[in-house]
Structure 1
Amino acid sequence: AKRAQTANAKTQVELAQYQYLLPRLTRMWTHLERQRGGIGMRGPGETQIETDRRIILDKISRLKAELESIDKQKSIQRKNRGKLTRIALVGYTNVGKSTLMNLLSKSDVFAENKLFATLDTTVRKVIIDNLPFLLTDTVGFIRKLPTHLVNSFKSTLDEVRDADILVHVVDISHPQFEEQIDIVNKTLAEICGKDSDKKMIVVFNKIDAFTYKPKDDDDLTPRTRENISLDELKATWMAKMNDDCVFISAKEQINIDELKNKIYEKAKEVHITRFPYNDFLFQKYDEGDDPGYSEPSTDK
């Protein structure tokens, strides 16, 4: 709530807070249960709970109405962006999405090593070589994300639903990074639908912070993530993802060119389908193969 800056983010966080608070009002007034009222010996704590519940329900309905108007504004903004390819950075919270956003778009999005540093959706136009596209930084996901929290951040998550390509950022230095991948995939299936055919690139970030402890030869205990080297993980995941993954460090700017090449190839496939007359921009001819090439004239 302290990091919410825009009206959109403040409304979303406030709605999530009230929806979280509503089913937990009962235990907040237990200190009034011993006080006795008048006829029927009905304690005043129950009356206070009913009053608070009515106030919170009124605020929730008001905040939902505000978010509906915000959703309409956001949808109009998305329509006005034209047919440009849209790429969204998704992933668990605190995996380095905003740092990567700043690196690719040369912007100044707030990025810090803490949970939910990003609450506002940021969209920037990025050009790699001769290909323009829109890059979106989204709010991070968490374990056991409640349904009402997904609904409260609907305007933010709509950017994910409308994206053509998803760049799934993973903190490979985290001990439970595979569990975080499953959580993000389940959340994406809930947002985009299980049958979504969106293109995806998995970016394993923070390889500079990756550490492991090699096992001794006489150690017969099962191997854990701490005993697997980075090279082994690379071979495993690249085979599993059909090379649609890359290992980088956004902080140290390691393998960023490889990531840009993968994004370029994916974005080019989408761009050509929407702008087929621009196909010649991506074709590279030798002088003899170029159909528009002719030998220079010797006439004066």
Structure 2
Amino acid sequence: MWRKLNNVKYAIFDDTLIIEKNEEGKETFYAQPFGYNKERLTELVETLKTRNQNYTDREYLFGDVDEEFLNDLKKYTDYKIEAIEDVDDFEYVYSINDLIELRGKKYHGKKNHFNSFNKSYSYEIKTLDNEKVIKDCLTLLHKWHDEVAVTVDKEMLMEIDAIKDLCGELHYFDLKSIAIYVDGNLAGFAVGEKVNDKMAVIHVERGEIAYKGIYSFLNRIFLMESFSDIELVNRQEDTGNEGLRKAKQSYHPVKMVKKYLVKVI
């Protein structure tokens, strides 16, 4: 989705997927490798360090690194490892059962918002499986950006192209989707996928706030319809956006997936 924003490149080395990306404020780095051999980690790191000698915009060797890979670097190599918590990139993980049941005082407000939408509107649930629905989603996105463009960051401004690409390839990636219509008008939509037997991830979620309670309704219904058999859902990072951070915290994550920027010396 974000290949244009981050100038994403990839290579296969020693049966390991290497992704190179650039993020504003972090320069260019390699994301956590996929399928790496722990016993040959030194060889992989040395190859990347050698490649980086030709560049000057590489303060960190790795980014988007979780604690497991960080520990492997420390255990299986002899390099000096300097890791910095990338707080804005921490991922929010929630109990799907909690977000479906909305039990207890801490979810009282969310449940009220859900009930408000459910009682106030005549709605229809669809999926993003045809050009008309996808066009409506992109129209809603453009409207949202026109209203809040002055307050969003570069990533948010590029998401229309990213989501347009994604919507055109839902079948290829086996993604789940939902679109909520009220009286024939799109009120909100979301796209996500099942990562494994325990985890789902939400890639996109957008609602028209003129419909009171749309986000609470969208969140709960999507999980009920597509991911009720899974334990956890990853709703990704807040990118340092205070409004987004407050919204994600209000759903009470059960854990945060820490991410690190790593220097290897």
| TM-score (norm: length of structure 2) | 0.27
Greater RCO, CA 8 A, separation 6+: 2
| TM-score (norm: length of structure 1) | 0.25
Q: Which has the larger Rg?
A: 1
